[in-house]
Amino acid sequence: MEDRPVVDEDTLVIPDSWRRRLYPRRGGRPGPAVKVDRSAGAAMRELVRELEASEPLAERAGVEPDMAEATRGYLSGGANPRGAAVVAALLAGNGRYDEAGKLATLAADSWVTEHGLPFAACAFAEFSQILWDVSGLKPIEHRRTDPGGQSVASTAAAKAGARLRGLLAVADDSVHQEAVDGLARHRRTASQRVVVSFLVPTRHDWVEECCAAPPDTVNEADFWWLLYCSLGSSRQLDLLAPYGVVHHYVWDRSFLVTLADGVGAAGVPLIVRGFDADAEVTALRKLILETLAIMPGDEAFQALVDRADQKYVQPALLAAMQRFPVRTLRLLAPAASGAPKLADLLARHVQTHRELLPGVGPLTNDRDKLPDAPADVLPRPLVDPPWLRTAKAPSPVVVEGLTPPGESRMRWAPGERERWARPDSRHSVHTGPDGWDPLIEEFRAGGDYTPVQMGILAHGPLEQVRPLLGGWKPQMWVAEIWMNLAVARFGLDALPAALSVAEPNPLGHGGPLLPFLDAGVARLMTECLARPKQGRKLALAWFDRHGLDAVALLVPAAVGSPGTERRQAESALRLLADRHGRGKVVEAARAHGSEASDVVEAMLAMDPLDLLPARMPVVGEWADVRLLPQIRLREREDALPADAARHLLTMLAMSKPDEVYAGVEIVKELCDSGSLAAFGWALFERWQQNGAPSKDGWALAQLGWLGDDETVRRLTPLIRAWPGDGGHAKAVAGLDVLAAIGTDVALMHLYGIAQKVHFKGLKARAQEKTEEVADGLGLTSEQLGDRLVPDFGLGDDGGLVLDYGQRRFVVGFDEQLRPYVADEDGTRRMSLPKPAAKDDQRLAPAAYQRSPR
């Protein structure tokens, strides 16, 4: 995560990445370069030829007499903008809705290449006055009495207009003036005047005319976003103010950056009204907030402050605070009074920007702040992380010409083949009076594989069915029912079919590949290792089954040309080295010669801290370490400096549930476990407050790496509730967190979810996860459950004494196994009290944590 640069607080600075979405204006900020497709004219003519083969374009539905005449003129070679527009509309209406934008862009490029930019601008203006759909064409003025049909403002076809606007913005003066002169003759209706102003927004008189008499807010509302993108002054905004916010739900990044570019801070009231108008369009609200965060002036910043308690706002407020530090001090201070969260933001901001307040003393929330730990006690990844080094890594050594062994083998688990080969009720088949021959012939012909036809896999004669398997590519539903049985009966002969089914969906259909030791299967499994949600569990099972025998299959890719395939093979070899030892993997690699094994040995000897992802993650601004608790070092009274904490965030972001970056374990050894858990929980809460974006799902996963029993107690109620709020995927990820924490308390809560939860899907996944944990411990699920039944540390008399120093409490169970809390004299309490100031500051917190909750 990088701090944003501090800029002139009265200047609009548009991020470089946003400029690619800008609709530019002549003489203003440059927009994206537009490259015209020179082959567009030929492509359009071919489309016209194909469409006219069935019916002349001029005679189609909705083509009025004047349209027909213009169409014939254009198709005969005349430079008729209206005819060009009708042809483009007919082609757009003939295709799917999602192809209309591509067709419009193709048409615009053909107009530019064959007739010039001024003609193309006029043709697009005419194009805007035609509505089209699969039923035909109609002039846009018919919308008032006959709703429906697509226009350039309501479809992706408007992107063609954006291309023309970009070309006009950088055109020679003579070309631009010719286009303006031509467009002056294509301003008949309110909507067409808006389209023309969108193309040439620097004609401010035309834009003001549009603002004074805008399109109808009912029948032509879809043109308003084009009008907003034409604005260039606060006066024009004032003219539109009485109409409120029109058609705001189609706003996108291009709209917002173009509006900001055109009117600057004057556009803030309109943008804020768009934010407040609809609380349901999550993506739009985030875009608006990001826009407000870059807008100069007090109004945008104050809008963020006023909405700081709303979802998604705080990350945008933080970004604005980094951009405008002086404005932050001036506007946040009044709002922070009586608002603890804003007060905390302000305090941390002052701490970060003390240069803005010379002589400022320690802040109230600094009293308990631990000093930064010195660099010489911190490990290398927290001081000099490898991802920040500028030295270029040496090129990997490549050994060419190696191929994996061609012979395939099978390795069955005990009793597995017998189970798979045993038909069940789904595999029943009746051959009929003619026996197997008709079914086998239908199978050979590649017919529609019905359950009866598939039954030959279970019961058909081996000598007749086996030759058919080489070219068999079963449908997915067939694979679900029959593939295990086919593999059990036919062994290696069924491999091509099993592999063809598994490759598109390893998670769903890869199970039948487990017995095969084969180069193609090894390649697929190395891919699956990098896909936690799409087959990694299957790949781990395959590598555990075949062990060192898989090494020879991996080496050719692991020492081959740099790229994804090599990285995946290297990762698989590291996995095997972790399981079986580095030396054994190197020895197995010698099957490909000493040169290859030397490369493998050097690769396995690499420092795990230098194993970085191909693309380093970017930690979002929501994870600001200034807003997270400090991480205290173990048995010390100092904490990780802010930079070191940021490096920890990067480590967490680059980690995966089954591949945690090596530096995380080093940090866990260095730091106090309770402090790390508190940091992790606060990080998780900030992720939640930011809308829990799936791309930052590591913020949930890291609870499994940094969390403790208190994390479990806080997380479990959320896991149980998430499916009811549409959060099934989060709940399933939460199960992985409980398993990763792995303490008896964590496993007890996981087991509890598996036994009783309202949501069947979550319950089933919890049962699967419980079985997985039990297998790893050599237990059954029932045995694991028995082991997890808590005794709560009670003594022989069924009671537990909790010592607070000056006070002691007894926790026990009554005759109906209901828990109770009592004072030493036997007086019952409603609940165990939290430690107070007069209690022993060491004994009381430990006793409270020890209590059964």
pLDDT for residue 817: 46
Q: Report how far residue 313's alpha carbon sits from residue 288's, in angstroms, rounded to the nearest whole number.
A: 10
> In which band, very low, low, confident or very high, does the pLDDT at 97 lie, cut at 50, 70 and 90?
very low
pLDDT for residue 444: 67
The DSSP string of 382-451 is HHS-GGG--SPPPPPP---S-------EE-PPTTHHHHHHS--GGG-----TTTTHHHHHHHHTT----H
Residue type for position 227: L
pLDDT digits (tens, 9 = 90+) for 760-781: 999 999 998 998 888 878 788 7
CB-based contacts of 337-346 (< 8 A; 24+ apart in sequence): 339/308, 341/308, 341/309, 342/305, 342/308, 344/627, 345/317, 345/318, 345/321, 345/627
Q: Is the pLDDT of residue 321 over 50?
A: yes
Q: Is the pLDDT of residue 798 over 60?
A: no
Structure tokens that stand for 524 in this block: 């697929």
Q: Are 51 and 94 in contact (CB under 8 A)?
A: yes
| Mean pLDDT (the chain, rounded) | 86
Burial class (CB in 10 A: 0-12, 13-18, 19+), 580: middle
Q: Are 117 and 158 in contact (CB under 8 A)?
A: no
Q: Are 71 and 87 in contact (CB under 8 A)?
A: yes
Q: Report how far residue 388's alpha carbon sits from residue 269's, in angstroms, rounded to the nearest whole number.
A: 41
pLDDT digits (tens, 9 = 90+) for 128-184: 999 887 777 888 877 777 777 778 877 767 889 999 999 999 999 999 999 999 999
Structure tokens that stand for 340 in this block: 């603890």
Average pLDDT over residues 257-280: 92
Q: Is the pLDDT of residue 842 over 90?
A: no
Q: Report how far residue 619's alpha carbon sits from residue 733's, in angstroms, rounded to the nearest whole number.
A: 20
pLDDT for residue 2: 41
> Tokens 């036809």, residue?
453
Closest CA to 627 of 345, 301, 364: 345
> In which band, very low, low, confident or very high, does the pLDDT at 364 lie, cut at 50, 70 and 90?
very low
CB atoms within 10 A of CB 480: 15
pLDDT digits (tens, 9 = 90+) for 369-415: 899 999 999 999 999 999 998 777 788 899 999 999 989 999 999 99
Average pLDDT over residues 329-333: 91
Average pLDDT over residues 828-835: 83
Kindly list the distances between the CA atom of residue 496 and the CA atoms of 466, 491, 664, in Å, as whole numbers in the listed order: 12, 11, 42
Q: Is the sign of the CA dihedral 496, 497, 503, 504 positive or negative?
A: positive
pLDDT for residue 360: 47
Task: Return the H-helix or E-strand segment holding 89.
Answer: helix 81-94
Q: Report how far residue 776's alpha carbon sits from residue 755's, in angstroms, rounded to the nearest whole number.
A: 19
pLDDT for residue 707: 95
CB atoms within 10 A of CB 179: 24
> Tokens 């009495």, residue?
145
Q: Is the pLDDT of residue 603 over 70?
A: yes
More confident residue, 357 or 660: 660
SS (H, E, C) 314-349: HHHHHHHHHHCHHHHHHHHHHHHCCCHHHHHHHHHH
Kindly list the distances between the CA atom of residue 545 and the CA atoms of 413, 510, 517, 554, in Å, as whole numbers in the listed order: 8, 14, 9, 15
- Of 32-41, 70-79, 497-506, which range is least confident? 497-506
Please, which residues have CB within 8 angstroms of residue 266's CB and are 6 or more apart in sequence?
233, 234, 237
DSSP single-letter state for residue 222: G
Q: Is the pLDDT of residue 247 over 90?
A: no
Please, which residues have CB within 8 angstroms of residue 767's CB and are 6 or more apart in sequence?
754, 781
pLDDT for residue 508: 81
